[in-house]
Amino acid sequence: MPWPSEKTRDNEVFGLIDKERERQVTGLQLIASENFTSPDVMEATGSVLTNKYAEGYPQKRYYGGNAVVDEIEALAIERVKKLFGADHANVQPHSGASANMAVYLGLIKPGDTVLGLSLDHGGHLTHGSPVNASGILYNFHSFRVNDTDERIDFDQVRELAIKHKPKLIVAGTTSYPRRLEPQPFRAIADEVGALMMFDIAHIAGLVAGGVHPNPVPYADVVTFTTHKTLRGPRGGCILTTSAHAAAIDKAVFPGSQGGPLEHAVAAKAVAFHEAMQPEFALYAQQIIKNASALAEALSQQGFRLVSGGTDTHMMVVDLRPFDAELTGKEAQLVLDEAGITLNKNNIPNDPRSPFVTSGVRIGVPSVTTQGMREAEMPLIAEYIATTLRKRNDPAAVAEVRGKVAALCAKFPVYPKRA
């Protein structure tokens, strides 16, 4: 069959892709787990590597024709090991969830006890939620953040570890705005004879850029997604000590995946290369500055920041002091109309359900990638506050939409296409 011609091209899908591109670049993208990836990363993602089957690992493949693919995957492995100082890397996980499930498969047995952060206090579904395979297959117990300072309480983690004697302790978060030191987790894991996994999905770019402690020297296994602060393609990665290398590789393939997505692996290699450049460290530093400026500006607008602020790329905002009636669900919907994209989020001890919530989560990786700095953060806070205050006034929301588009036009993400 010949390739589609101008006449038979799938204009429906390509039209929708253009529409989504327009949405992304004309609005404020404030979802903490998203970023704009580089044109080079996208080129690798859309390359001929998508045509290739490469089950196995470099030099140990089940199919022929993998000499070049071997070089690409080996490059990705070498780069990510160097970037984080790891003994061993597996770059094949299709996503963060696949990476985490592979670690459980490789290191523990179904029914084994594990400790992780509760979902409603900032943990991830794959850290033992009862609706996720992690919580169905393994005996997870959850720790929570402190009622007083809304930070992880290591005394509680230790007490639970002593009580439940987990085989594995999972550190890492999905909506927690504070630095997370790896040493206390290591000390507790050692005290009870547990293994320690640190899921740095959100903060991988901050770790690579030197603005968050690197857990690799302390953890038995580190997992992450490549598409958040690290600014790579959608995908996952696992770093391990040599002691667990064989078990982890076996758990990824053949344990839980088939053929690797070598186009994604190539794009990961490109992203690791980009993250090794000195400019990436500046980018990570700017993320921290922007998040802190936005948190300050939001509190001046009357919002309460969970834990009082942020030292990462994200903040969790308690909407109740701003407006007791306003839910996270409603805020997300009306902000979307104003071109401000973020997500509703439970705050610790939230009286509302996860579908409604009393909070929103806000992240600055995308706006920082497009070049916004501290000066733009009060504007963003003002646009959020105005939209929420005037949420029943469509003309006022439309006016903010115009201001958002004008601000974004000053910070073009991708070169205009000819």
Ligand X SMILES: Cc1ncc(COP(=O)(O)O)c(C=O)c1O
**Nearer to ligand X (CB atom), residue 206 or residue 400:** 206
225 is annotated as an active-site residue: yes
Which residue's CB atom is positioned nearest to ligand X? Answer: 96
Cα 281 to Cα 209: distance, rounded to the nearest angstrom: 4
Cα 203 to Cα 295: distance, rounded to the nearest angstrom: 18
Min dist CB 128 to ligand X, Å, is 12
Structure tokens at 310: 């942020």
Min dist CB 91 to ligand X, Å, is 14
**Nearer to ligand X (CB atom), residue 117 or residue 407:** 117
Catalytic residue among 55, 153, 323, 374: 55
- Binding residue for ligand X (CB under 6 A) from 52, 61, 124, 361? 124
**Does 126 participate in binding ligand X (rule CB under 6 A)?**
yes
199 is annotated as an active-site residue: yes
**Nearer to ligand X (CB atom), residue 100 or residue 345:** 100
**Does 172 participate in binding ligand X (rule CB under 6 A)?**
yes
Min dist CB 199 to ligand X, Å, is 5
Min dist CB 224 to ligand X, Å, is 8
Min dist CB 375 to ligand X, Å, is 29
**Does 226 participate in binding ligand X (rule CB under 6 A)?**
no
Contact criterion met (CB below 8 Å) for 314 and 288:
no
Structure tokens at 403: 């201001």
Catalytic residue among 53, 323, 336, 390: 53
**Nearer to ligand X (CB atom), residue 134 or residue 358:** 134
Give the chain's length.
Answer: 418
Catalytic residue among 225, 226, 229, 240: 225
> Using CB under 6 A, which residues numbered 318 to 347 contact ligand X?
none
Q: Which of 357, 349, 360 is closest to 316 using CA atoms? A: 360
- Binding residue for ligand X (CB under 6 A) from 225, 310, 345, 368? 225
Catalytic residue among 34, 199, 274, 376: 199
Binding mask 353-392 for ligand X (x = CB under 6 A): ----------------------------------------
User: Which residues, 6+ apart, have CB-to-CB distance to 7 below 8 Å?
Assistant: none
User: Which residues, 6+ apart, have CB-to-CB distance to 393 below 8 Å?
Assistant: none
Structure tokens at 107: 């290191």
**Does 97 participate in binding ligand X (rule CB under 6 A)?**
yes
**Does 274 participate in binding ligand X (rule CB under 6 A)?**
no
> Using CB under 6 A, which residues numbered 4 to 33 contact ligand X?
33
Catalytic residue among 228, 268, 361, 401: 228
Min dist CB 229 to ligand X, Å, is 11
**Nearer to ligand X (CB atom), residue 199 or residue 376:** 199
**Nearer to ligand X (CB atom), residue 56 or residue 236:** 236
- # of chain residues touching ligand X (CB under 6 A): 14
Q: Which residues make up the interface to ligand X (CB under 6 A)?
A: 33, 95-97, 100, 124, 126, 172, 174, 199, 201-202, 225, 236
Which residues are known to be catalytic?
53, 55, 199, 225, 228, 234
